């Protein structure tokens, strides 16, 4: 009787507690039982999409599978990686050369896949380096960085590297305006001396090789993001800007004064024509173009000294400003190429501009003014509609290809789904927390694959097990296949997942390289077979031509190295099959590990400072006899007579 | 039961291989057929390996040009694991042509992973040399050149 009474009280208390707990809990609740099956990729089976997530301040790109959220690879782009030797090996050090010298890091924000006819073609992935302005190109056969080009006359390459419809160009617009060319001036002379630039980098359609074709000098605002047109708007690119106030201090207040800032619409086809007609001026500018050659397995730096610059005053019809409410951030073009969506950080609506109305307004000279030769179009003449109540702080928009747009709202932490044409909001879903970009596979292209949207959140807080003050970053996978968006999965990311792009796995996986052909290895220090393995000395410079195969090095006993020698180990992996890398390190190496793929050569510099015996070994578990894969180097005193010997 | 059968079968094979072949050709064929069946192979595969070479080759006299090419290929693609006269990562190769049929040699070069997984002889070698031989990205023509090189090693 007593027991029964107790239960009688306990059950309602527990129920009430559960209800209260749910109400007070900020986390999403609900039934995830069918979500699990939607993200479950059975062992041994593959994901449907490759997702390339920017590493933000990690400087790298990480490759994930969707819908599982499994991490496959971190591609070294702007940051040295001691795990592979990227930026440490003699072959890859030139990749990080800039006009400021060797820069071992950058802030990588926007991965953008190459496109043909506005659709993803699976050839390359571009990503911008914000801090020391650069654009990198990643090869999607090797999943390695193939090229990094520096952007001169730029203070920070944020509005980049969005591509035109056939990847004719990659664009780059400067976030921080600076004197162009650089000079020593008072910061307070901002309005007089500081300029922005918009750059067009030509991409060779076969090799992918990038060349800075021309730059357009524009008023000194902060140019933020961009997207190029498609279909009818093929010839145009659109760039948002803020700080039309041209403030140079306390921008959070001083750059938020004007009711509207500007979207720059650039007719790049016309710009191309002006360049061909000789309207561009050649200007001195120092910058580097670094290319990695897959046959020599070696990067080289090309130093460049000038750039072609167009001034809008000399180029009528090339560029227009379109007003956009309050400090816009993202600019996104719908799959048809007609609608240009601006996202204003401080705006109460999302303005959607019409490309056809823009052309008409230009034709009618519907201008409300002009800045530095750039006509300003009348907002009302260009706007197609405004999305009302889009959430607070609307930033970025992607499209599902079925007539809907999805906009991230940073302040209200949600994704808002709205209909193109009617501009009505049809659904919204909270994100955890403070979403920045969002990504639908192909969601910026003419052919979105729909199905999912990934929320790329800025704040993680309580979503995962805590790991001290520094916690993981957070992405969320949301199902958009039905009328209502449905949260499926949280997954942690490497660095800040600033922006991402995803592509169906079938477009890439068939092209994925398995190894490098040894016959094609033209590295000057490569060995083609063990017979060529050797050690040579030239003064105090020693070259060890080392081969690896399972499970030995050749040579594996080296004597006659002296304290203070500059010893280069050139490691060639003679294997010719998939998934047999070998790693190399030697005791006391004040450099990185070298992870050498089959058929590849990597070189690392070692300067021994003390006499003794130094073991070296393979760091990547390669076979049953991996633990036997080792060698010794004998280091003698600087003046010793120990003969150079190797086996 | 199945195990016992296998052990018996393998014993027959081993003893058969060691003993003098006094029985007639028919008996030999029958034995081979039985063996092949145990391992799920054809008699041809048992003698000549599993892979793209599916019939006996017509070899002809040794071609010195092919030998030269084969040696070059061997030095680049194979020598990191095989020496001619001593054990290395893999077995010594000078007498290879005496130990294996020409077709077996080519199939082992062209299809080593499946060979080690399925062929009783290749399995035995894997137990002695515990590093999986890999396909070294060679063509069938390349393998033929290397075969010529192996033929030239034994007079």
pLDDT in tens, A198-227: 999 999 999 999 999 999 999 999 999 999
Does A452 share its domain with A576? no
Please give the share of chain A, as a percent, with pLDDT higher than 90.
89
The CATH code for residues B64-152 is 1.10.760.10
Distance CA B110, CA B104 (A): 10
Partner residues linked to A289 by β-bridges = A149, A302
Which strands make up the sheet holding A383-388, listed edge to edge? A328-333, A339-344, A349-354, A383-388
Are A231 and A118 spatial neighbours (Cβ–Cβ below 8 Å)?
A: yes
What's the ipTM? 0.76
Alpha carbons within 13 angstroms on the beta-carbon side of residue B111 total 18
Give the CATH number of the domain where residue A584 resides: 2.60.40.420
Note whether residue A209 is domain-resident: yes
Give the range of the structural domain holding residue A612, as residue numbers without chain letter.
518-646
- CB B80 to CB A577 under 8 A? no
Cβ contact, residue pair B81, A549, below 8 Å = yes
- Phi, psi (deg, nearest 5) at residue A123: -85, -55
In terms of Cα–Cα distance, which of A572, A578, A622, A580 is closest to A599? Answer: A572
HEC letters along A405-420: EEEEECCCCEEEEEEC
pLDDT of B24 reads 73
Last residue of a domain, one of A511, A540, A572: A511
Q: What ranges do the domains of chain B cover? A: 2-40, 64-152
Number of structural domains (chain A) is 2
List of chain A residues whose C-beta atoms are within 8 Å of the C-beta of residue B137: 515, 517-518, 576-577
**A552 and B89: CB-CB below 8 Å?**
yes
User: Could you tell me which of A597, A527, A531, A499 has the C-alpha nearest to residue A108?
Assistant: A499
Q: Which helix (H) or strand (E) holds A254?
A: helix A251-254
d(CA A301, CA A289): 6
Q: Name the pairing type of β-strands A630-636 and A557-562.
A: parallel
User: What's the pLDDT at A13?
Assistant: 47
Q: How many helices and strands in chain B, by DSSP H and E? A: 9, 0
Widest distance between CA atoms in chain B: 54
pLDDT band at A365, cuts 50/70/90? Answer: very high
Strand, helix or coil at A396?
Answer: strand
Instruction: Provide the β-strand partners of residue A51.
Output: A64, A502
Query: In this model, does residue A596 exceed pLDDT 80?
Result: yes
Please give the C-alpha separations between residue A82 and each of A76, A144, A203, A630, in angstroms, as whole numbers: 10, 15, 30, 20
The answer to whether position A478 is within a domain reads: yes
Structure tokens at A229: 């047109």
Q: Does A572 touch chain B (CB under 8 A)?
A: no
Residue A459 lies in a domain: yes
**Helix (H), strand (E) counts: chain A:** 8, 45
- Domain with residue A157: its CATH number is 2.130.10.10
- Report d(CA B103, CA B99) in Å as an integer: 12
CB B114 within 8 A of CB B132: no
Residue A249 domain flag = yes
- Assess whether A502 and A621 both reside in one domain: no
Contacts of B130 in chain A (CB under 8 A): 623-625
Could you tell me if A530 lies within 8 Å of chain B, comparing CB atoms?
yes
Nearest CB among B130, B134, B137 relative to A625 is that of: B130
What SS3 state is found at A315?
Answer: coil
> Cβ of B136 and A515 within 8 Å?
no
Cβ distance of B79 and A577 shorter than 8 Å:
no
- Report d(CA A438, CA A456) in Å as an integer: 6
Contacts of A366 (CB under 8 A, 6+ apart): A360, A377, A378, A381
What does the block give as tokens for A156? 């920070």
| Residues A472 and A524 occupy one common structural domain | no
Other beta carbons within 10 Å of B7: 10
In this prediction, residue A193 carries a pLDDT of 96
Q: Give residue A5's pLDDT band: very low, low, confident or very high (50, 70, 90).
A: low
- Dihedral of the alpha carbons of B72, B74, B76, B77, in degrees to the nearest 10: 150
Position A158 pLDDT exceeds 60? yes
- A positions 615-644 inside 8 Å of B (CB): 623-625
Which of A22-31, A135-144, A183-192, B116-125 is predicted with the least confidence, judged by mean pLDDT? Answer: A22-31
A547–B contact, CB cutoff 8 A: yes
pLDDT at A28 over 60: no
Whether residue A549 and residue B132 make contact (CB cut-off 8 A), yes or no, is: no
Q: Please check the confidence at residue A3 and state whether its pLDDT lies above 80.
A: no
Mutate to test the interface with B, among A550, A579, A622, A627 (most CBs of B within 10 A): A550
| Distance from C-alpha of A619 to C-alpha of A636, rounded to nearest angstrom | 26
Q: Looking at residue A254, what is its pLDDT?
A: 82
According to the model, what pLDDT value does residue A517 have? Answer: 96
d(CA A349, CA A204): 40
Round to whole Å and give the CA distance between A125 and A140. Answer: 7
Question: Which chain B residue's Cα is nearest to A580?
Answer: B134
Q: What does the DSSP 8-state code read for residue B1?
A: -
Q: What is the pLDDT of residue A29?
A: 55
The pLDDT score that the predictor gives to residue A314 is 96
Q: Which residue has the tokens 């004197």?
A: A179
The pLDDT assigned to B25 comes to 80
| Candidate ranges A8-17, A304-313, B125-134; pick with highest mean pLDDT | A304-313
Question: Is residue A441 domain-shared with residue A523, that is, in the same domain?
Answer: no
Give the model's confidence band at A8: pLDDT under 50 very low, under 70 low, under 90 confident, else very high. low
Of the pLDDT bands very low, low, confident and very high (cuts 50, 70, 90), residue A260 is: confident
Tell me which chain A residues have a C-beta less than 8 angstroms from the C-beta of B80: 529-530, 547, 549, 554, 574
Cβ contact, residue pair A549, B80, below 8 Å: yes
Sign of CA dihedral A181, A182, A184, A187: positive
Rounded Cα gap, residues A465 and A109, in angstroms: 26
The closest alpha carbon to A322, from A342, A349, A346, belongs to A342
Q: Which of B80, B136, B137 sits opposite A547 (nearest CB)?
A: B80
Write out residues in chain B with pLDDT < 70, as ranges. Answer: 1-23, 155
Same domain, A158 and A291: yes
Q: How far off is chain A from B52, nearest CA to CA, in Å? A: 18
For residues A436 and A561, membership in a common domain is answered with no
Q: Around Cβ B80, how many Cβ atoms within 10 Å?
A: 26
A385 and A430 belong to one structural domain? yes
Closest residue of chain B to A551, computed from CA coordinates:
B89
Tokens representing A72?
A: 């496959």
Whether the pLDDT of residue A41 is over 90: the answer is: yes
H helices within A481-564, ranges in order?
A: 505-508
Sheet holding A452-457, edge to edge: A435-439, A452-457, A473-479, A486-493
Res. A587: pLDDT tops 50: yes
Residues of B within 8 A of A580 (CB-CB) are 134
CA angle A622, A628, A631 (to 5 degrees): 105
Residues A564, A444, single domain; the answer is: no
The pLDDT assigned to A347 comes to 83
Tell me whether residues B130 and A554 touch, CB distance under 8 A.
Answer: no
CA angle A507, A510, A515 (to 5 degrees): 135
The 8-class DSSP code of residue A433 comes to S
Q: What is the mean pLDDT of residues A1-5?
A: 48
Query: Which residue in this structure is represented by tokens 């800075």?
Result: A212
Pair (A476, A621) in one structural domain: no
| pLDDT for A503 | 98
pLDDT band at A32; cut points 50, 70, 90: confident
Residues near A356 by Cβ (< 8 Å), separated by ≥ 6? A232, A338
Are the beta carbons of A576 and B81 separated by less than 8 Å?
no
Cβ-defined contacts of A587-591 (< 8 Å, 24+): A587/A614, A587/A615, A587/A616, A588/A614, A591/A88
Closest CA to A225 of A274, A266, A172: A172
Distance, in Å, from the CA atom of A292 to the CA atom of A201, rounded to the nearest integer, reads 18
Q: Which of B92, B30, B109, B68 is nearest to A577 (CA)?
A: B109
Interface test with A, best of B134, B136, B141, B149 (most A CBs within 10 A): B134
Read off the DSSP letter of residue A378.
P
Would you call A519 and B76 a contact, using CB atoms and an 8 Å cutoff?
yes
Cβ-nearest to B76 among A518, A580, A624: A518
Answer for the pair A407, A416: CB distance below 8 angstroms, yes or no: yes
Closest CA to A545 of A565, A517, A574, A520: A574
Assess if residue A471 is contained within a domain.
Answer: yes
Nearest CA in chain B to A529: B76
- Phi, psi values for residue A101, rounded to 5°: 100, -160
Q: Residue A24 domain-assigned? A: no
A186 pLDDT above the threshold of 50: yes
- Contact residues, chain B to chain A, C-beta under 8 Å: 75-77, 79-81, 89, 130-132, 134-137
Domain membership of residue A44 (yes or no) is no
Q: In the beta sheet, which residues pair with residue A417?
A: A406, A427
pLDDT over 60 at A17, yes or no: no
Residues A54 and A194 placed together within one structural domain of the fold: yes
User: A554 CB near a chain B CB, below 8 Å?
Assistant: yes
Q: How many CB atoms lie within 10 A of CB A15?
A: 10
Q: What is the pLDDT of residues A418-430, one digit of tens each?
A: 999 999 999 999 9
Residue A22 lies in a domain: no
Nearest Cα residue to A147 out of A304, A297, A286, A293: A293
Looking at every residue in chain A, the average pLDDT score rounds to 94
Query: Phi/psi class of residue A236: alpha, beta or left (left: φ > 0; alpha: ψ in -120 to 50)?
Result: beta
The residue out of A454, A488, A511 marking a domain boundary is A511
Give the distance from residue A617's alpha carbon to the nearest chain B alpha carbon, in angstroms: 17
Whether B137 and A576 lie within 8 Å, measured CB to CB:
yes
Q: Decide if A591 contacts A607 (C-beta within 8 A).
A: no
Under 8 Å CB-to-CB from B64, ≥6 apart: which residues?
Answer: B152
CA distance A314 to A279: 7
Q: Where are the beta strands (DSSP E) in A22-105?
A: 49-54, 61-66, 70-75, 97-98, 101-102
Q: Are residue A497 and residue A524 in the same domain, yes or no? A: no
Burial track A232-268 (b if 16+ CB lie within 10 A, e otherwise) = ebbbbbbbbbbbbbbbbeeeeeebbeeebbbbbbbbb
- Angle at which helices B25-39 and B2-18 cross, to 10°: 140
Is the model more confident about A506 or about A13?
A506
Burial A292-306 (b: 16+ CB within 10 A, else e): bebebbbbebeebee
* Among candidates A529, A576, A624 on the partner chain, residue whose Cβ is nearest the Cβ of B134: A576
């Amino acid at each position: 009787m007593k027991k029964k009474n107790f239960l009688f009280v306990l059950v309602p208390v527990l129920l009430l507690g559960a209800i209260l707990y749910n109400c007070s809990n900020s986390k999403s609740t609900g039934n995830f039982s069918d979500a699990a099956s939607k993200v479950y990729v059975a062992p041994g089976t593959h994901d449907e999409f490759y997702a390339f997530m920017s590493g933000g301040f990690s400087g790298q790109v990480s490759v994930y599978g969707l819908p599982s959220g499994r991490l496959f690879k971190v591609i070294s782009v702007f940051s040295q990686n001691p795990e592979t030797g990227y930026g440490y090996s003699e072959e890859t050090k030139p990749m990080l050369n800039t006009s400021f010298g060797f820069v071992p890091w950058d802030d990588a924000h926007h991965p953008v896949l190459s496109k043909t006819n506005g659709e993803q073609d699976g050839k390359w992935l571009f990503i911008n380096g914000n801090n020391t302005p650069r654009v990198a190109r990643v090869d999607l056969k090797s999943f390695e960085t193939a090229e990094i080009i520096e952007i001169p006359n730029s203070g920070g390459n944020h509005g980049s590297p969005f591509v035109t419809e056939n990847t004719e160009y990659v664009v780059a617009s400067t976030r921080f305006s600076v004197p162009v060319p650089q000079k020593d001036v008072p910061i307070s002379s901002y309005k007089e001396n500081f300029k922005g630039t918009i750059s067009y980098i030509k991409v060779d359609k076969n090799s992918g090789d990038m060349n800075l074709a021309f730059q357009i000098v524009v008023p000194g605002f902060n140019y933020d993001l961009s997207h190029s047109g498609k279909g009818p708007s093929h010839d145009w690119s659109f760039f948002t800007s803020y700080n039309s106030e041209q403030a140079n201090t306390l921008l959070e207040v001083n750059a938020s004064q004007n009711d509207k800032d500007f979207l720059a619409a650039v007719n790049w086809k016309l710009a191309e024509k002006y360049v061909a007609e000789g309207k561009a001026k050649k200007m001195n500018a120092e910058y580097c173009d670094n290319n990695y050659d897959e046959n020599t397995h070696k990067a080289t730096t090309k130093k460049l000294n000038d750039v072609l610059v167009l001034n809008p005053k000399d180029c009528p019809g090339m560029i227009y400003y379109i007003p956009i409410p309050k400090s816009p951030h993202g600019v996104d073009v719908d799959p048809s190429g007609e609608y240009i969506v601006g996202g204003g950080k401080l705006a109460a609506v999302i303005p959607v501009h019409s490309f056809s109305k823009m052309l008409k307004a230009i034709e009618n000279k519907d201008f409300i003014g002009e800045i530095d030769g750039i006509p300003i179009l009348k907002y009302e003449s260009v706007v197609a509609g405004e999305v009302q109540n889009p959430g607070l702080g609307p930033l970025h928009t992607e499209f599902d290809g079925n007539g809907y747009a999805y906009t991230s709202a940073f302040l209200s932490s949600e994704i808002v789904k709205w209909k193109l044409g009617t501009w009505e909001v049809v659904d919204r879903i909270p994100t955890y927390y403070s979403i920045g970009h969002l990504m639908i596979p192909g969601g910026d292209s003419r052919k979105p694959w729909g199905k999912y949207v990934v929320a790329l959140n800025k704040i993680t807080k309580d979503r995962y097990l805590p790991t001290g003050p520094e916690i993981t970053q957070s992405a969320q996978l949301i199902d958009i296949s039905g009328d209502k968006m449905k949260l499926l999965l949280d997954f942690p990311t490497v660095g800040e997942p600033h922006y991402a792009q995803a592509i169906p796995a079938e477009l890439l996986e068939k092209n994925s390289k398995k190894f490098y052909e040894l016959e094609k290895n033209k590295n000057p220090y490569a060995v083609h077979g063990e017979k060529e393995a050797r050690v040579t000395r030239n003064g105090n410079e020693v070259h060890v031509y080392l081969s690896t195969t399972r499970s030995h090095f050749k040579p594996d006993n080296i004597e006659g190295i002296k304290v203070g020698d500059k010893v280069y180990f050139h490691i060639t992996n003679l294997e010719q099959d998939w998934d047999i890398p070998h790693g190399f390190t030697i005791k006391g190496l004040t450099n990185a590990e070298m992870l050498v793929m089959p058929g590849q050569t990597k070189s690392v510099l070692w300067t021994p400072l003390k006499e003794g015996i130094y073991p070296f070994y393979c760091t990547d578990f390669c076979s049953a006899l991996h633990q036997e894969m080792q060698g010794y180097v004998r280091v003698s005193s600087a003046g010793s007579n120990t003969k150079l010997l190797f086996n | 039961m199945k195990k016992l059968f296998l052990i018996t079968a393998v014993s027959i094979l081993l003893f058969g291989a060691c003993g003098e072949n006094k029985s007639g050709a028919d008996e030999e064929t029958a034995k081979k057929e039985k063996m092949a069946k145990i391992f799920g192979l054809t008699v041809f595969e048992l003698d000549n390996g599993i892979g793209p070479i599916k019939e006996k080759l017509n070899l002809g006299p040794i071609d010195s040009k092919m030998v030269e090419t084969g040696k070059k290929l061997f030095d680049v693609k194979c020598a990191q694991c095989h020496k001619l006269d001593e054990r290395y990562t893999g077995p010594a190769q000078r007498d290879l042509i005496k130990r294996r049929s020409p077709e077996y040699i080519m199939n082992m070069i062209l299809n080593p992973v499946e060979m080690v997984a399925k062929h009783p002889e290749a399995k035995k070698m894997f137990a002695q040399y515990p590093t999986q031989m890999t396909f070294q990205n060679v063509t069938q023509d390349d393998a033929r050149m290397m075969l010529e090189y192996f033929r030239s090693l034994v007079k």
